[in-house]
Amino acid sequence: MGSALEYYDFFIYGTAASLMFGQIMFPRGNPTAALLASLATFGVGYVARPIGSFFMGYIGDRVGRKALMMLTLLMMGIGTFLIGCLPTYDQIGMAAPVLLVVLRLVQGFSAAGEQAGANSLSFEHAPSHRRGYFTSWTLSGTAFGQVLGPLVFIPLSVMLPREDFLAWGWRIPFWLSVLVVAIGYYIRRHLEEAPKFEAEKAERKAAKAQGEPAAQENLFAGLFKHHWGSVLHVFFCALIAGIGTIFTVFTLSFANDPVYGNNLGATNWLWVTAIGNAVSVLTMPLFAILSDKVGRRPVFIIGDIGCVIVTALMLWAVSAHNLMLAAGLGILLFGIPYAMTNAVWPVTYSELFATKDRATGMAVGTQFGFMIGGFAPVFCALLVGVGGTPAWVGPAIYAGLIASASALSLVFKRETFRTPLDQLGLTKAERAALDAAPAAR
Q: What secondary structure, in 3-state letters, does the chain show?
A: CHHHHHHHHHHHHHHHHHHHHHHHCCCCCCHHHHHHHHHHHHHHHHHHHHHHHHHHHHHHHHHCHHHHHHHHHHHHHHHHHHHHCCCCHHHHCCHHHHHHHHHHHHHHHHHHHHHHHHHHHHHHHCCHHHHHHHHHHHHHHHHHHHHHHHHHHHHHHHHCCHHHHHHHHCHHHHHCHHHHHHHHHHHHCCCCCCHHHHHHHHHHHHHHHCCCHHHHCCHHHHHHHHCHHHHHHHHHHHCCHHHHHHHHHHHHHHHHCCCCCCCCCHHHHHHHHHHHHHHHHHHHHHHHHHHHHHCHHHHHHHHHHHHHHHHHHHHHHHHCCCHHHHHHHHHHHHHCHHHHHHHHHHHHHHCCCCHHHHHHHHHHHHHHHHHHHHCHHHHHHHHCCHHHCCCCHHHHHHHHHHHHHHHHHHHCCCCCCCCCHHHCCCCHHHHHHHHHHHHHC
Give the confidence band of 10 by pLDDT, cuts at 50, 70, 90: low
Please give the backbone phi and psi of residue 127, each rounded to the nearest 5 degrees, phi first: -60, 150
pLDDT in tens, 356-391: 999 999 999 999 999 898 889 889 999 998 889 999
* pLDDT tops 90 at residue 352: yes
pLDDT of residue 440: 52
**For the chain, which residues make up each domain, given as ranges?**
2-193+220-417
Contacts for 371 with CB less than 8 Å, ≥ 6 apart: 46, 47, 49, 50
Least confident of 80-84, 215-219, 320-324, 325-329: 215-219
Predicted pLDDT of residue 414: 87
pLDDT of amino acid 115: 83
Closest by CA to 38, choosing from 103, 108, 100, 105, is 100
pLDDT higher at 421 or 209: 421
| pLDDT for residue 181 | 84
- Name the average pLDDT for the chain: 88
- Provide the whole-model pTM: 0.86
pLDDT score for 2: 59
Taking only Cα atoms into account, the Rg of the chain, rounded to an integer number of angstroms, comes to 22
Residue 34 has pLDDT above 80, yes or no: no
Is residue 331 pLDDT above 70, yes or no?
yes
CA distance linking residue 25 with residue 9, whole number of Å: 19
CA dihedral angle for residue 435, residue 439, residue 127, residue 131, rounded to 10 degrees: 20
5 falls in which pLDDT band (50, 70, 90)? low
Ranking 53-57, 250-254, 311-315, 323-327 by mean pLDDT, the lowest is 250-254
Which pLDDT value is given to residue 6?
A: 62
In this prediction, residue 246 carries a pLDDT of: 93
Average pLDDT over residues 135-143: 88
The letter for the amino acid at 104 is R
Answer yes or no: is pLDDT of 215 > 70.
no
Q: Evaluate if residue 140 carries a pLDDT over 60.
A: yes
Q: Which CATH number fits domain 2-193+220-417: 1.20.1250.20, 3.20.20.140, 3.30.2090.10, 1.20.1050.10?
A: 1.20.1250.20
Q: pLDDT band at 437, cuts 50/70/90?
A: low
- More confidently predicted of 345 and 108: 345
